[in-house]
Amino acid sequence: MNNSLSNNYNQDTIAAIATPAGSGAIAMIRISGKNSLETAFRCFRPANKNIRIGNIQSHRLYFGEIVADNKILDEVLLSYFKAPHSYTGEDAVEISCHGSLYIQQALLQALLQAGARLARPGEFTLRAFMNGKMDLTQAEAVADLIASESKAAHQLAMQQMRGGFSEKIRALRKQLVHFASLLELELDFSEEDVEFADRRDFMALLNEMQAELSRLIESFKMGNVLKKGIPVAIIGKPNVGKSTLLNAILNEEKALVSDIPGTTRDAIEDTITLEGYSFRFIDTAGLRPSDDLVEKMGIEKTKDKIEQARLILYVCDISNMNKKNMEKLLEEYKSYIHHKDKHFILVANKIDQLEEVPGHLKELLELETVFVSAKRKENIHLLAETLVNHVKNDRFDENILVSNSRHYEALVRTQEAIQAVKQGFNTNLPADLIAIDLRQALYHLGTITGEVTTDEILGNIFSQFCIGK
């Protein structure tokens, strides 16, 4: 535990509004700290006259009034959580009041005048971390859980809060600590030329760790998109119905639709949730040679969006397709398939303009193709099912899915440090130089769970929380 942060944060009694801004039926004020109950009772008047601060029981609800300047502010419910059986691990009080903005602010001001101070962003969760109620990955999962807007993002946050990822990191670090201690022991007996750490066992462990770290690092691709929304780029030639398709998927007029080629000059984005997965659809400028400076800039941005996307919908006008331009389309389509981590789906649009299906369309069956009429919203549900199935078919173990960029960066640095240790052994570097790289690997692993922390790391993490959490 960082002593400076511990001393700075844990001495005061803090208070904050825990519910979102705005009016509602009820709101909740949180108080935490060793004087939280005393602070609350300077404002709280129990309805039952026999209730005193000395006979309040933990995890019970008490009805009463909040009084300030001899005026009743509201009728409330007060609950007390005695340390260490609270969210923060210290004495805590929660007061449920009516959701009026005036009442919330008046009640909070009364508590501040009674001796509490306003909580900093994330301070309740920071105290939970400081008091050992959760590790750093679980604390970060709290913020992810609050911010989750889809079933997939919610599941990721819940898995991390349960500690599956933390256990994996701690197991890796424990193995490394064992060999690091043996290597340090060799340094203490360097004059006697003894080996406590078997080099073959050590190299085997390093290889196993690198393989596990590689799996975790690779899982970030999926974890990050599930957390933030799976990016789907809609690309194709001008005037094939890309914007109409976006509007049909979103079921609203999000993008401007026109018969004039090149109408879409900039990428248009919006998000929709399908079967619990969040998809970020990006309608891009049409791909074609152009002398128009603005349109050329839009086409360059389209190429950037293709790089960012995990799923790509390649839209074509099937009503205007003959064998020659079919072959040209297939050639253009295949030029994008070298992206191994992307899924390409050909969207054959404007089927409403076909009297019959031409025979040469069977060549499309070589590709994953969905036939739609964006204008009439025909088969849009089939396209949605195809997108969801692609996500479901991506195999991953949710218990070890990395979705946090800070964790990803720490894992990459750990991997680099372990590679340096291996190179040191292979080139017969002195043990003291190898030990430096080994300590770096331990340090980076420790920063993930909070076994190694600095004020800067904690400040950056908890400053992103809302004040009441």
CB atoms within 10 A of CB 362: 9
Q: Is this prediction's pTM over 0.85?
A: no
Mean pLDDT of 434-457: 84
For residue 297, give the nearest of 271, 270, 266 by alpha carbon.
266
CATH superfamily membership of 229-393 = P-loop containing nucleotide triphosphate hydrolases (3.40.50.300)
Residue 385, judged by CB atoms within 10 A of its CB (0-12, 13-18, 19+), counts as: middle
pLDDT category at 189 given cuts 50, 70, 90 is low
The CA dihedral of 246, 252, 256, 260, to the nearest 10 degrees, is 70
| Complete DSSP assignment for 250-281 | HTS--S---SSTT---S-EEEEEEETTEEEEE
CB 4 within 8 Å of CB 455: yes
pLDDT at 396: 53
User: What is the full DSSP assignment across 140-176?
Assistant: HHHHHHHH--SHHHHHHHHHHHTTHHHHHHHHHHHHH
Q: Does position 15 have pLDDT exceeding 70, yes or no?
A: yes
Please provide the distance, in angstroms rounded to a whole number, between the alpha carbons at the two ends of the chain. 20
pLDDT score, position 111 = 95
If you average pLDDT over every residue of the chain, what do you get?
80
Mean pLDDT of 339-368: 73
Q: Which residue has the higher pLDDT, 221 or 420?
A: 420
* Type of residue found at 405: S
Residue 397 CB-density burial (10 A; 0-12 exposed, 13-18 middle, 19+ buried): exposed
pLDDT in tens, 350-362: 888 876 666 656 6
In angstroms, the CA 225 to CA 438 distance is: 32
pLDDT higher for 20 or 334? 20
The domain segmentation of the chain, as residue ranges, is: 3-135, 151-224+404-450, 229-393
Q: How confident is the model at residue 458 (pLDDT cuts 50, 70, 90)?
A: confident
**Percentage of the chain lying above the pLDDT 90 cut:** 27
Dihedral sign computed on CA atoms, order 402, 403, 407, 409: positive
Residue 419 pLDDT: 93
Residue 107 has pLDDT above 90, yes or no: yes
CA distances to 224, 237, 271, 283, 341 from 231, rounded to whole Å, are 11, 20, 9, 11, 12
Equal CATH topology for 3-135 and 151-224+404-450 = no
The superfamily in CATH containing domain 3-135 is Probable tRNA modification gtpase trme; domain 1 (3.30.1360.120)
**Which range among 194-208, 219-233, 433-447 shows the weakest confidence by mean pLDDT?**
194-208
pLDDT value at position 365? 59
> What tokens does 109 get?
């001001």
Give CA–CA dist 423/415, Å, rounded.
12
pLDDT tens profile 377-410? 999 999 999 988 888 776 554 557 888 888 999 9
- 10 sits in which H/E element: helix 3-10
The architecture in CATH of the region 151-224+404-450 reads Up-down Bundle (1.20)
Return the pLDDT at 261: 45
pLDDT digits (tens, 9 = 90+) for 240-259: 888 888 888 888 765 444 44
Burial of 292 (0-12, 13-18, 19+ CB in 10 A): exposed
Report whether pLDDT(322) > 90.
Answer: no
Q: Residue for token digits 């898995």?
A: 159
Q: For residue 268, what pLDDT is reported?
A: 64
Q: pLDDT band for position 239 (50/70/90)?
A: confident
